[in-house]
Amino acid sequence: SAGAGTIKISQITADGGREPLELTGVIERDNFWYTVDESSFVDIPSQEVSIDIVKGIESKMVTLDFDLTTVKNRELVIPVNLERFSHLAKQRMISGNTHVHIMRQTYRQATDYLQLVPESDDLRLVWVSHLRRIPDEREYITNQFTPSSLHAISTDKVTLGFGEEHRHNFGIGGEGWGHVMLLDIPELVRPVSIGPGIMRGGSDGRPVQKGILAARGSGGTVIWCHNDFGLEDIANWTLGFIHAQNIFDGGSVGSYDATFYRYLNVGMQVPFSTGTDWFIYDYSRAYVPIRGRVTSNKWLAALRKGESFITNGPIISFTANQRDIGSTIQLESGSNTVQVNATGKGRTDFKGLELIHNGHVVATVETQSTDGYFVAKMNTTVDLSEPGWLAVRVPIDNNKNIYDRLIFGHTSPIYFQQNGQSIFDPDVALDLMVEMQQARDKAASTGQFDNEAARNSVIGVYDRAIERMEELIESSGK
């Protein structure tokens, strides 16, 4: 089919096995997959080979076998028709990767990568972000891109947005104040990176909260990176300064329980988001609904509203009482029967769907194989008598996708209020408050501060958030 896709070419061995071949002249992905487009040429040995072809996560895989043992020095043109089992773009569900950097490439190579790889993966929007670390930043080629240059190299199939990974670490990669994506900012929030752990100079006397507030003030979107990595995460969520939460942006480590479910259970609204960090090594993306022309601003607005689902394989739809992801439903007093409908589709078996109520699995359904892909359908009811939330995910213990990455998928919640009140679990709130106190103590004892004002600037983040959580616990009356 026209446009970019991904291929894997394997030698067929005497016993019928497959040995993947390393290709040259095309963009290498993980697990012997390569991005190609209609202009790509690859050398294939004169032997029996198998070619696997896919595009994104909504197409069936096409496998073609060729006996080339008698074919030498001949150009083969292979037309391919990829059949889709889903077409979210036609439903105006648009994909985005909120966290991408590239290093150790030329500007031309990085441009080709940013134009072709997202297209081959059916990834519509990508935010390319600036970050700093001395001396490694000399190889961070995406630091040369600006909002205007990213706009200039965007295509009709891939929109490239601008952002910054604002961060603080103790040491090269040790946990510090944390990392946040600042997206669609008009200019960099400086300093981009904070402290001697990253910058080989200066002090730790600036919280990431200052950068967060600066980005919000300029109309930017703030996404906390790497799930629960960083001391300031709970404090900034408690104070309402974070727009969305990333998980699995840079690996498969982390759990929903550590962040999302706890925040949700004290009444926060937490949009789910994800990305890949260095390069686009996986299919990780979020989908949100957009009407009309696709723009970075529209996509981020829908994310902030919590209308997203995240995935690196399964396509998930979910409604409760015919209301969409991100909605808030008012419960009547007493028991309320809620109709839940959810569907999952995927090229690789994703094992099923799980309905999550306030962090607990309350219903499950398994996948069924059908005509080259897998489907899971859930139609059930739940009785709710108190405020809370519902969401749908795929099982945590799962298979791997073609890039050899553990499959994940999770919707943002649908919220349920009663008498205008959201869920509030005081035990979870107390746990979060204790963790903020521990983070405060670590910040105070570990940070290098030039003066008392700098120290107070950092410690004040935790003090204000702890005070806020105490107020919430007191006002809950629980």
pLDDT over threshold 50, residue 119:
yes
Q: What is the pLDDT of residues 165-216, one digit of tens each?
A: 999 999 888 899 999 999 999 999 999 999 999 999 999 999 999 999 999 9
Provide the pLDDT for residue 172. Answer: 82
Pick from 163, 164, 160: nearest CA to 150: 160
Provide the pLDDT for residue 2. Answer: 65
- Residue 191 preceded by cis peptide, ω within 30: yes
Q: Using pLDDT thresholds of 50, 70 and 90, give the confidence band for residue 1.
A: very low
Of 1-5, 45-49, 130-134, 172-176, where does mean pLDDT reach its minimum? 1-5
pTM (2 decimals)?
Answer: 0.97
pLDDT over threshold 80, residue 320:
yes
Residues paired with 338 in a beta bridge: 382
Pick from 109, 4, 35: nearest CA to 281: 35
Average pLDDT over every residue of 87-100? 98
**Domains defined for the chain, CATH in brackets:** 5-67 (no CATH), 85-307+424-478 (3.20.20.140), 313-421 (2.60.40.10)
Rounded Cα distance between 276 and 251, Å, is: 8
Rounded Cα distance between 213 and 366, Å, is: 44
Residue with tokens 């405020």: 387
Residue 340 near residue 382, CB atoms below 8 Å = yes
Residue 244 near residue 271, CB atoms below 8 Å = yes
Average of per-residue pLDDT values in the chain:
97
125-130/159-170 β-pairing: parallel
Provide the pLDDT for residue 78. Answer: 81
Provide the pLDDT for residue 79. Answer: 83
Q: What is the pLDDT of residues 386-420, one digit of tens each?
A: 999 999 999 999 999 999 999 999 999 999 999 99
Average pLDDT over every residue of 239-246? 99
Q: What is the pLDDT of residues 206-239, one digit of tens each?
A: 999 999 999 999 999 999 999 999 999 999 999 9
Cα dist from 191 to 133, 163, 211, whole Å? 11, 14, 8
